[in-house]
Amino acid sequence: MFSKLLIANRGEIACRVIRTARRMGIKTVAVYSEADAGALHVAMADEALPIGPAPARESYLAIPKIIAAARASGAEAIHPGYGFLSENADFAEACERAGLIFVGPPAEAIRAMGDKAAAKTLMEQAGVPVILGYHRADQSEATLVKAAAQVGYPLLIKASAGGGGKGMRIVEAASDFAEALASAKREARSAFGDDRVLLEKYLVRPRHIEVQVFADSHGNAVHLFERDCSIQRRHQKVIEEAPAVGLSEEMRLKLGAAAVAATKAAAYRGAGTIEFILVDDFFAFMEMNTRLQVEHPVTEAITGLDLVEWQLRVAAGEALPLGQDAIRHRGHAIEARIYAEDPARDFLPATGRLAILAPPAETASVRIDTGVRAGDTVTIHYDPLIAKLIVHGADRTAAVQRLAEALSQYRIAGVVTNREFLYRVATHPAYAAGEIDTGFIGRHRAALIPPQTPAPFAALGAASLAHVLDAASSARARGTSGGDPWSPWHRRDGWRLNGETYQDLLWRDGAEERQVRVHNANGAYRLASGNHSCAAAAAWESDGILVLTLDGTRRRAAVMQQRDAVTVQLDGIEHRLYYIDPLSPTVAVDETGGRLSAPMPGKIIAVKTAAGKRVKRGEALLVLEAMKMEHTIVAPADGTVERVNYAAGDLVEEGAALIAFAAEK
């Protein structure tokens, strides 16, 4: 076994590899870009070396810099994690030329399986079922149009070299094909440096089932059961579980056998994942991921194995630790990916500082994999994954309940996240019943991403009582730090000389202003707002957790305060309120009507309109690339484009006015 390992990645996977290596007595070396100088993986590693500016192409994707860092540190092996260079055959070869062990498959296997079109051909030859489609070398538009007609609509355009939903488009009709093809090719070229695509028949209500496989250099290959990855948005997984719900033992054996056959056909070594599409009793090969997957912890949870340790042992030339007959699974595990993204804006990635980050306590049944801490910043440069929450239960029902409870306890503030969305999935009756497929989110969108509604009285009460308690605590602190403790100027409880004691607090709730009157009679409160009035009591249980009693009903609320912004997390649902200080000057509202602004920092990829053009509501005006994904800016109404402020290739900041637009009256 080698003694020093360099991790050519960042975030939670780098931290994950460091933990396993440390347990095995292997020294670790982290690499980091300028944006990651203070990152968690840098702090955790035994050594850390800088490799360049924040853009991934100049740091984490720069092969010469990674090799140089390994040589400078004396590392004998490189673990690529997932993403970045993990499926780059040139990188695997560069490691070999440098005399370094690449913790992954041979370069030939990466090339064979990384090219989705070539992989499908190889699987056909190996007798593995393959879905109807086009995956040949001729990439001319005329050939692809003809092939699309033969495959039939609806169909999928997929990047041949890609994954993670990038370079993928669903096409419903022939009239939409040309534009979807151009967009998919642009995104594929940006994300993978390769714009080749393949076509697949789009199946209605399929399930995405993948099988974890492992092979060594001694001719052994096994599977470690399947995972269901059907809960997806933007063709990217957000909730995965193992084993797959409702799968018969016969189907499980067939999938496992097909996965092992595919692994052997690829002359594979190390960890990999064979991905299948499943509809009823029919399954077909989609692709192979020649690396460890983000969702590998659910396989670890049901098997009790450390897959990173297996990777390191196989890379060191050892045989697989277990044969197929010795691999067992126990219970049920689910992983939820917590992202900085806004579900209400089509899951647009978000950036910002993690002012509050308080996960639930880790136990034997609850695991948190993360690469960030409170105070860290989610930037535009990298994937916006905050953490992976993994739960395990004796059966699926127990695991689903544990997932919902853990999500309800997770507290994050400072950046928009999908935590509440995940909680709504976990508590949805159809998810609990196992009625899942890749269309789950779209089918239940109204329930999973409901429109914003006014905060309930309990949330207003929690914010108000937290404000009153904190004001009283601050007043007491001032009174005991040298001032007159009996001075009436230190009181913050609304005391009046000849009247009842109360305070009026004003909150902005969405577009509304809502007032709460807090009556205080020696610590016994009464709240009144609109038609609601009730007796109340409150006390801080711990940092950020308020024990709230309204008319005798006791409950806990997470109250996260950032200056005047307050997020109340009640029964898993978040309510955002803003305190309006009556002593502060009124700030004029910024009128931005008529301007279409950049939803986040990015690069203009295409301009599809011009000044003076009349457009219809929903018509594409401009395409923005951010976080390796394309975001189309559309006309909000029928109207006229008055001015286009940027050209293709321009970089823009969040909030930049992209287009001046006049809506028809």
Average confidence (pLDDT) over 224-240: 95
Count of CB atoms within 10 A of residue 591's CB? Answer: 7
Task: Report the range of poorest mean pLDDT among 136-145, 161-170, 456-465.
Answer: 161-170
pLDDT range class, residue 637, cuts 50, 70, 90 = confident
Q: Do 260 and 226 reside in the same domain of the chain? A: yes
Residue 84 has pLDDT above 90, yes or no: yes
Helix (H, G, I), strand (E, B) or coil at 538: strand
Residue 113 lies inside a defined structural domain of this protein: no
Residues 617 and 554 in one domain: no
Cβ-contact 624, 655 below 8 angstroms: no
For residues 100 and 121, what is the distance between their CA atoms, to the nearest angstrom?
A: 32
Tell whether 573 and 657 lie within a shared domain: no
3-state helix, strand, coil in the chain (%, to 5): 30, 35, 40
Query: Is 412 found in the same domain as 276?
Result: yes
**Which CATH number do you get for residue 93?**
3.40.50.20
Give the separation between CA 373 and CA 395, rounded to whole angstroms: 32
For residue 600, pLDDT beyond 90:
no
Contact 412, 386 (CB under 8 A): yes
Asked if 440 and 463 sit in the same domain, the reply is no
Same domain, 270 and 412: yes
pLDDT at 488 over 60: no
Angstrom CA distances, 61 to 52, 65, 97, 394, 579, stand at 10, 9, 18, 41, 45
Residues 316 and 367 in one domain: yes
Q: Kindly report the length of the chain.
A: 665
pLDDT at position 78 is 98
Query: Is residue 615 a part of any domain in this protein?
Result: yes
Answer positive or negative: Cα dihedral of 258, 264, 266, 268. positive
DSSP helix/strand/coil, 409: helix
Give 299-339 pLDDT, tens digit per residue: 999 999 999 999 999 999 999 999 999 999 999 999 999 99
Q: Which CATH number covers residue 509? A: 3.30.700.40
Query: Cα–Cα distance between 90 and 97 in angstroms, integer?
Result: 10
Specify the range with the lowest mean pLDDT, choosing from 7-16, 77-86, 365-374, 465-474.
Answer: 465-474
Angle 347-350-354 (CA atoms, 0-180°, nearest 5)?
130
> Does 253 share its domain with 357?
yes
> How crowded is residue 518: how many other Cβ atoms within 10 Å of its Cβ?
22
Q: Write the DSSP symbol of residue 146.
A: H
Q: Averaged over 257-263, what is the pLDDT?
A: 95
State the CB neighbour count (10 A cutoff) for residue 585.
6
30, 33, 90: which is closest to 60 by C-alpha? 33
Look at 583 and 17; give whichever has higher pLDDT: 17
Domain that holds residue 610: 595-663
How far apart CA 81 and CA 91 sit, in angstroms, is 13
Q: Would 51 be classed as within a structural domain?
A: yes
168 and 77, same domain (yes or no): no
Euclidean distance between CA atoms 665 and 661, whole angstroms:
12
Task: Give the pLDDT confidence score for residue 591 in this predicted structure.
Answer: 33
On the question of pLDDT at 126 being above 90, the answer is no
Q: Which of 379, 441, 451 is nearest to 415 (CA)?
A: 379
- 662-to-260, 438, 613, 615 alpha-carbon distances in Å: 59, 39, 11, 10
Instruction: Provide the token pair at 117.
Output: 């079109």
pLDDT band for position 586 (cuts 50, 70, 90): very low
Which of 16, 207, 291, 492 is the catalytic position? 291
Do residues 575 and 650 both lie within one domain? no
168 and 86 part of one domain:
no
Query: Domain for residue 585, yes or no?
Result: no
pLDDT tens-digit readout, 37-64: 999 999 999 999 999 999 999 999 999 9
Write out the two tokens for 450. 């409901």
Pairing state between β 47-50 and 27-32: parallel
Residues contacting residue 96 through CB under 8 Å, at least 6 positions apart: 102, 107
Residues whose CB falls within 8 Å of the CB of residue 480, separated by 6 or more in sequence, listed in order: none
Beta bridge partners of 567: 560, 576
pLDDT at position 180 over 60: yes
Closest CA to 623 of 635, 609, 607, 611: 607
Instruction: Check: CB of residue 333 under 8 Å from CB of residue 297.
Output: yes
What is the phi/psi pair of residue 219, to 5°?
90, 5
Label residue 616 exposed, middle or buried (CB < 10 Å: 0-12, 13-18, 19+): exposed
Burial of 444 (0-12, 13-18, 19+ CB in 10 A): middle
At 387, the amino acid letter reads A
Using alpha carbons, select from 360, 359, 466, 419 the residue that is nearest to residue 574: 419
Residues 2, 23: Cα–Cα separation, whole Å: 14
Instruction: Enter the tokens of residue 621.
Output: 């005006």
Please give the structure tokens belonging to residue 125: 């030859």
Provide the pLDDT confidence category of residue 499 given band limits of 50, 70 and 90.
low
Q: Determine, yes or no, domain membership for 220.
A: yes
pLDDT in tens, 101-125: 999 999 999 998 988 778 888 898 8
- pLDDT for 590: 34
Residue 664 burial (CB count, 10 A): 9
Identify the H or E element spanning 124: helix 116-126
Decide if 225 is inside a domain.
yes
Read off the CATH number of the domain in which 633 is found: 2.40.50.100
Query: Residue 186 catalytic?
Result: no
Pick the closest to residue 61 from 95, 33, 93 (CA basis).
33
pLDDT band at 192 (very low <50, low <70, confident <90, very high): confident
Span 479-492, average pLDDT: 56
Contact 290, 114 (CB under 8 A): yes
Whether residue 92 lies inside any domain: the answer is yes
Yes or no: say if 225 and 302 are a contact pair by the CB < 8 Å rule. Answer: yes
- pLDDT score at 592: 37
For residues 153 and 66, membership in a common domain is answered with no
Above 70 in pLDDT, residue 523? yes
Amino acid at 597: S
Domain membership of residue 120 (yes or no) is: no
Model confidence band, residue 446 (pLDDT cutoffs 50, 70, 90): very high
- Tokens matching residue 241: 């579980």
pLDDT for 120: 84
Contact 568, 559 (CB under 8 A): yes
Q: How many separate domains does the chain show? A: 5
Share of the chain above pLDDT 70, in %: 94
Give the pLDDT confidence score for residue 352 in this predicted structure. Answer: 86
Name the pLDDT band for 90 (thresholds 50, 70, 90).
very high
> What integer pLDDT is reported at residue 306 of this predicted model?
98
